[in-house]
Structure 1
Amino acid sequence: MSQGDERGYGGNEPAGHTDDAYSTLGGTRQTRTRLPRGGDEGDGYGRRPARNSRSLIMVVGVVVLLIAAIAFANQGGGGDTSGNGAEKATDAAGAGPTAATGTKPVQGRNGTIASGFAHDEQGAQSAAANYAVALGSAEMFDKTQRDGILDAVIAPASVEKFRTTLDKAYSIGFFRNVGLNDDGTAPAGFTFVSRTTPIGTKTTRASADQTTVEVWCSGLIGLAGEGSTKPVTDGWFTITMELQWVDGDWKALTHSQKDGPAPVGGDNRASSADEIAGAVNGFGGFTYAR
Structure 2
Amino acid sequence: MSLGGDDGYGGDYDGREAGPEGHLTRTRLPEGDGDPYGPARRPGRTGRPSRNLVTVVGVVVLLIAAIAFANRGGGKDNASGSTDTSGTNTESHPTAPTGRRPVEGKNTTTGIASGFAKSQQGAQSAAANYAVALGSADMFNRERRHRIVPQIFTSAAAGPLQTKLDKAYSAASLEKIGLDANGKAANGMTYVSRTAPLGTKIGKFAGTTATVEVWCTGVFGTAGEGSKNPVTNDWFTLTLKLRWVNNDWKAEGYSQKDGPAPVNSDRTASTADEIAKAVEQYGGFTYAR
Residue 276 in 1 paired to residue 214 in 2? no
1:210–1:64 Cα change, 3 Å = closer
Shift of 1:65: 7.4
Larger Rg: 2
1:101–1:67 Cα change, 3 Å = farther
1:188–1:96 Cα change, 3 Å = closer
Is this contact kept in 2: 1:218–1:237, CA < 8 A? yes
Shift of 1:75: 5.5
Is this contact kept in 2: 1:65–1:169, CA < 8 A? no
* Aligned equivalent of 2:12, options 58, 74, 77: 74
The letter for the 2-side match of 1:69 is: G
The letter for the 2-side match of 1:108 is: G
1:289–1:179 Cα change, 3 Å = same
Residue 103 in 1 paired to residue 100 in 2? yes
Is this contact kept in 2: 1:74–1:158, CA < 8 A? no
Question: In the TM superposition, what whole-angstrom CA distance separates every residue of 1:174-233 from its partner, at most 9, and x where no partner exists?
Answer: 111111123321100000001111000010110010000000000111100011111001
Identity %: 50
The count of aligned residue pairs is 217
The letter for the 1-side match of 2:264 is: G
Shift of 1:254: 1.1
Corresponding residue of 1:168: 167
1:142–1:75 Cα change, 3 Å = same
Q: 2: distance between equivalents of 1:124 and 1:181?
A: 36
Is this contact kept in 2: 1:129–1:215, CA < 8 A? yes
Q: 1: distance between equivalents of 2:196 and 2:99?
A: 22
TM-score by length of 1: 0.70
Is this contact kept in 2: 1:109–1:115, CA < 8 A? yes
Is this contact kept in 2: 1:222–1:233, CA < 8 A? yes
Q: Which runs of 5+ in 2 are unaligned?
A: 28-96
Is this contact kept in 2: 1:214–1:238, CA < 8 A? yes
- Once the two structures are superposed, the pairs formed by residues 247-262 of structure 1 within 5 Å of their partners are 247-262=246-261
The letter for the 2-side match of 1:132 is: A
* Aligned equivalent of 2:19, options 75, 79, 89: 89
1:177–1:65 Cα change, 3 Å = farther
Superposed CA RMSD in Å reads 2.2
TM-score by length of 2: 0.71
Corresponding residue of 1:149: 148
Shift of 1:74: 2.3
- The 3-state SS of whatever aligns with 1:117 is coil
